[in-house]
Structure 1
Amino acid sequence: MDTKFSTAIHMLILVSEAKTPMNSEQIAHSVGTNASYIRKVATRLSRAGIIEGRRGVSGFSLLKAPKDISLLEVYRAVEQSEDVHVFDVHQNPSDECIVGRNIRPVLNGMFRQAEQVVERKLAGTTLADCITQMRKQIESSEKTE
């Protein structure tokens, strides 16, 4: 898994909490990446019906309430995959070794079960949950400053 998923969540929290629509430059500054990468992620979110973007100064806005956007929906939009894929098995185990001949089906089965747990967690977690956690984190960090 690359960083498109975490970038998308970061972006969606910003867009949701902003008083006015944010453009790709503003979002890129917060995420710590370039605006073209933000636009790439935004295109995928837009195709999935999660955000809409207007070129130029106007920026992005959510098409749904945060409580109606699951993290699984976000994952599927940006990773362009129906299944959550977290683990990979090494590609060239030796057929000359009994473990090498059998490791892929063993690990693939175990990894798929773990990924199904992750899928269920993402399906049950919304953008609103992330926003709540972010607000708590901000409040906590401000107390320690």
Structure 2
Amino acid sequence: MKDTKFSSAIHALILISESETAMNSDQIATSVGTNASYIRKLMTRLRKAGIIEAHPGISGFQLVKKPEQISLFDIYKAVMETEGLHLFDLHQNPNDACIVGHNIKPVLGDMFRNVEMDVEKQMAAMSLADCITNMRHYVKEHNEGGEQ
């Protein structure tokens, strides 16, 4: 099963950023194509990370920072609840009596971590503002003037 928290969070944050009024979880869920309780869980994680805020008595969320100040890696860490990127898992029980089985974990572990660190750097260099700009360009190029 694929994990869609990251893309759903970016989708929600673009909506929040681009909306003239505070968007609530029901409105966001309708656009994302999921249920409001899933969105509330994502919003809780984003709020704890200092990316969005919600005010008592006001329905909806607002960004705490400008989109340019929110990296994709910040969003990833918030919704995945991890400090680093984790793309690859190693199999658990290689045969220690085999030369490959005995050495595979440290060899692949180092290689996988290097790839993950490169991806982290790329994600840290991309912002929510980049996503918004790309969305605007795509809509303009494809004449898709659909509502939020």
Instruction: Give the structure-1-normalised TM-score.
Output: 0.91
Q: Is 1:88–2:89 an aligned residue pair?
A: yes
Contact 1:24 1:35 in 2 (8 A): yes
Cα distance between partner residues in 2 of 1:56 and 1:105:
52
Cα distance between partner residues in 1 of 2:114 and 2:103:
18
Unaligned runs of 5+ in 2: none
The CA deviation string for residues 98-143 of structure 1, in whole angstroms up to 9 with x for no partner, is: 2112111111111000000011011111110110011111112217
User: Which residue identity lines up with residue 25 of structure 1 in the other structure?
Assistant: D
Shift of 1:8: 0.9
Cα distance between partner residues in 1 of 2:57 and 2:134:
31
Unaligned runs of 5+ in 1: none
Contact 1:9 1:74 in 2 (8 A): yes
Q: Is 1:29–2:30 an aligned residue pair?
A: yes
Instruction: Name the counterpart of 2:43.
Output: 42
The verdict on how the C-alpha distance between 1:87 and 1:55 changes in structure 2, with shifts beyond 3 A counting, is farther
Contact 1:15 1:62 in 2 (8 A): yes
Give the count of matched residue pairs.
143
Give the SS at the match of 1:115: helix
**Identity across aligned pairs (percent)?**
59
Instruction: Name the counterpart of 1:121.
Output: 122
User: Which residue identity lines up with residue 74 of structure 2 in the other structure?
Assistant: E
Which consecutive aligned stretches of 4+ in structure 1 deviate over 6 angstroms post-superposition?
none
Instruction: Give the structure-2-normalised TM-score.
Output: 0.89
User: Which residue identity lines up with residue 12 of structure 1 in the other structure?
Assistant: L
Give the SS at the match of 2:118: helix
Cα distance between partner residues in 1 of 2:70 and 2:89:
28
